[in-house]
Amino acid sequence: MSENGHDHPHPGTGRTATPSTLRVRAMEKLLVEKGVLTEAEIQDRISYMDSRSPANGAKLVAKAWTDEAFKNRLLEDTKSATFELGMDASGPVEFIVVENTPEVHNLIVCTLCSCYPRAILGRPPDWYKSFEYRSRAVKEPRAVMREFGYEPPENVEVRVHDSTADIRYMVLPMRPEGTRGMGEEGLAELVSRDSLVGVSVPEAPSHFNA
């Protein structure tokens, strides 16, 4: 499920058309024929969604790591905070950013389908949409994270947030050690898509690990 109900490949992508894809295309054709939308408007919307990527989330996180006031705004009103950095997360869907702390680690899932903060991060990875992840993330979150190469310490509480058609979640991971003095651009490079979902955490810079 997407914020705009438009999540499918188009001719020329090289991806096989599924029954759901064909239904969406038929709906698009009908909307164009009825004059509700033009083909150009549909293509503009597709291009807009394709421009969303985890890099947006990384920018938000890096800004929050270096600006406490911005971090508070991001946690309190995610949509307004995204506008500050030139991102548009407007629309009926609510966005909530949950903060990792030394005591709590957050993990995001959508148990019903694949609800995901697409307006910020773009399309979800295939594993996020898989039945295996959607079922196991709730039942055995630590085992799932272990398979991604990360496991929170035993004394850290793991909170699983189930996205819905009305609410999307994104994780604000903790800032890695060894990053003092780094600027926002360098910090953003440490933030992966997986850490924004909570299956992993940002790695310390290589000079710190050496």
Q: How do the pLDDT tens digits run along the chain, 210 residues long?
A: 333 333 433 333 344 566 756 776 787 677 777 776 777 666 655 555 555 689 999 999 999 999 999 999 999 999 999 999 999 888 899 999 999 999 999 999 999 988 999 999 999 999 999 999 999 999 999 999 999 999 999 999 999 999 999 999 999 999 999 999 999 999 999 999 999 999 999 999 876 654
Residue 52: per-residue pLDDT: 65
Is 200 assigned a catalytic role?
no
Which CATH number is 54-209's, of 3.50.50.60, 3.40.50.300, 3.20.20.70, 3.90.330.10? 3.90.330.10
Contact 162, 138 (CB under 8 A): yes
Could you write out the DSSP letters of every residue in 15-83?
Answer: PPPPHHHHHHHHHHHHHHHTTSS-HHHHHHHHHHHHT--HHHHHHHHHHHHH-HHHHHHHHH-HHHHHH
Active-site residue, from 90, 113, 130, 135: 113
Active-site residue, from 110, 192, 195, 206: 110
Residue 99: per-residue pLDDT: 98
Residue 209: per-residue pLDDT: 54
Instruction: Dig out the tokens for 164 from the structure.
Output: 């819905």
Is 113 assigned a catalytic role?
yes
CA atoms within 13 A on the CB side of 164: 5
Domains of the chain by residue range: 1-51, 54-209
Q: State which amino acid sits at residue 9.
A: P
